[in-house]
Chains A and B, each alone.
Chain A
């Protein structure tokens, strides 16, 4: 049986306190990409009780995603946007999840993410990361972006940090380890990096702007 909305609220308030819960519940967060970073960010924010998530991705779940992304065998072949929505509602059916199954480009980025105070950049290609950050910071003046860069391989978890570049740009990761140069991307460091991003979201929502 699915617990009631009131039951979810009660438990989250008990864990997080009412003022914290209210801020998270009233927040809308955008996530650009629903792969290794995006699926993990979405799960952590959903568990924390963030009230509304907006997720953009164009890809389908493949076998090669299962080593680090939060999908299951039953999701193979599904669009990641649809699969992650299903998973998030299994965690908390009362949060609102909106999605668009499109590729984010320089031309559509501002339109897609307009109105969001915080966007998580969760792409895998370096060019896409740079494109989104440059486009959003130029065209959406009120928006802060939290990016992930450098989480491949199995170097020390402690090399992954959150850095504040400007008031509107935070970058999580080790900043240097490219997935093209090392032996792949693995669940632990991808999850460490994505949860740096998710925690920075929560910090900003609660009024803390330092890392």
Chain B
């Protein structure tokens, strides 16, 4: 079981981060991913395999400034 944005999320152990992002309809050009305490480089999204106990926060930026 992983934790996504503070909530438990089942069914993603052993699957790629990109799959999680797709299922939740995140647009990769608008996000930053905090993965176990660090911001994950974009180039690592495709080869990051999620595992039990992982904690993620996906920040999706919105326009305005």
Contacts and interface: CB of A to CB of B under 8 A. Distances in A.
B34 interface: yes
B64 A127 contact: no
A152 B64 contact: yes
Given A126-B30, A127-B30, A169-B34, A134 B61 contact: no
B42 interface: yes
Interface in B11-51: 29-32, 34, 37-39, 41-42
B39 A171 contact: no
B8 interface: no
A49 interface: no
B3 to A, nearest CB: 14
Given A127-B29, A130-B31, A169-B34, A122 B65 contact: yes
Contacts of B38: 166
Interface residues of B, number: 18
Contacts of A122: 65
Interface string A170-181: 010101111110
B39 A130 contact: no
Given A36-B65, A125-B63, A175-B62, 9 more contacts: A125-B65, A130-B30, A138-B41, A138-B42, A151-B65, A165-B57, A165-B59, A177-B62, A180-B63
12 contacts: A122-B65, A127-B30, A134-B41, A137-B32, A147-B61, A149-B61, A152-B64, A165-B39, A169-B34, A176-B62, A177-B64, A179-B63
